[in-house]
Amino acid sequence: MPRTLRLLRRRAVCTAAAAGTALVLGASAASAAVTWTIVTAPPTGANATLQGVATVSDSDAWAVGFRNGAANTNIGAKALIDNWNGTAWSQVTTPATPGNTALLNAVSASGASDAWAVGRTQVNKSSFEALGLHWNGTAWSVSSGLSTALFGGTYSVGVADISPADAYVIGDNSSLASGELAQWNGSGWTHVTYPLPTSTGFPNTLNAISANGPNDVWIVGSYMIQISQTNLRYETFSLHWNGSTWSVVSMPLVSGSDTLLAYEFSSVVVNSPTDVWAVGGSGDHVIGLGGSPSNTLIEHWNGAAWSIVPSPSPGSNAGLTGVTTSNAASSIWAAGFDTPAGASQPQTLTLNWNGTTWTTVASPNAASTDILTSVATNPGAAIVWAVGDSGPTGSFNPLILQNG
């Protein structure tokens, strides 16, 4: 499918791109006091894409994705994990996984000796199950219990690693038409039941997760509502864990009468109980129906309620796929893509919150088509990382941008 129709959610990891080698600046980006640069990451020439990034320190970071899959379907793909050692990115050994296909969608680390990478494994085009890989400080290994805790047919889309004895993974199960949640207690995975945003029985999904500690975990998702006898629409919702119970926290509804218009979040970051950010996009057919976002979407939790925060949507088909706290006070980074004026393919897009407003920040591109899928840093760190991919359908190359 054309790269411009790429879905925001990382669960739909069958995407395409366009190639090139020249280093250019996105036409939609504005100048800023900070600078993004492209950093080389392996492997090249292996149809490789990066879907998630997590940082431990300025000398330790993880980026995950997949490589060597068939164009469009990704059948036969293998898990890809790159590590930053403070000097360079290098590809690390991944364990053998069930099935003939393995894709990683997200990664989270609580420390140098504890990290989780999650995604899916499959034996054919439609038979798949959740995949969880764990890093113990020495090697990555498969955690077999995750596929049972998330039920067969679930593909993992997000992970929050709180400590070696506490982690959460979210996923989507198409056959059950529901998002699934599992928790790690240090020795095994258990399925977690959560409250639903509606009792109608319509489908719901879980799209992104983040935690500020064991008593402050947020999940954002979407659910279907019926707005007339013949029309359905998707809306967003959030879940919050306060240390004892999960609760549904409402989010602003989509306004207007367009039955195809939908909002979807691709990433969330919890900075404190009164500071949570969720980013994504809005547009026709954003959710799983083969369409493109039209505008960026950012919402903020202030401890009492969610509200939509104005955000730039340069070019066309703009969407955000990642958000992270920053290495500076009152600063947040969001990353994604848009198609600049005069271009036919998407380019990298980065936005920065300075405590008052969101602004577009210039970001480089390695080709005529480049998409960012995730962004990460730690409070007080000097480096912010954004990852994604660049290249034509069937010939992706990893793309990593460094700020700082």
Of 215-219, 309-313, 378-382, least confident by mean pLDDT is 378-382
Mean of all residue pLDDT scores within the chain: 87
Q: Phi/psi class of residue 274: alpha, beta or left (left: φ > 0; alpha: ψ in -120 to 50)?
A: alpha
What is the rounded CA–CA span in Å between residue 122 and residue 174? 14
Q: Quickly state the pLDDT bin for 10 (edges 50, 70, 90).
A: very low
Does residue 246 register a pLDDT over 90?
yes
More reliable by pLDDT, 254 or 222: 222
Average pLDDT over residues 196-206: 87
What does the pLDDT look like over 259-292, one tens digit per residue?
666 778 999 999 999 999 999 988 765 444 445 6
The number of domains in the chain is 1
What does the pLDDT look like over 381-404, one tens digit per residue?
999 999 999 988 889 999 999 999
Beta-bridge partner residues of 158: 170
Which tokens in the block code for residue 179?
């998002």
Average pLDDT over residues 326-330: 70
More reliable by pLDDT, 259 or 243: 243
Which tokens in the block code for residue 199?
């009792």
Task: Supply the range of the domain harboring residue 146.
Answer: 3-403
* Cβ pair 87, 110 in contact under 8 A: no
Q: Phi/psi class of residue 38: alpha, beta or left (left: φ > 0; alpha: ψ in -120 to 50)?
A: beta
What distance lies between CA 240 and its chain's CA centroid?
Answer: 19
- Three-state SS string across 322-391, please? EEEECCCCCCEEEEEEEECCCCCCCEEEEEEECCCCEEEECCEECCCCEEEEEEECCCCCCCEEEEEEEC
Q: What is the pTM of this model?
A: 0.90
The CATH number of residue 88's host domain is 2.120.10.70
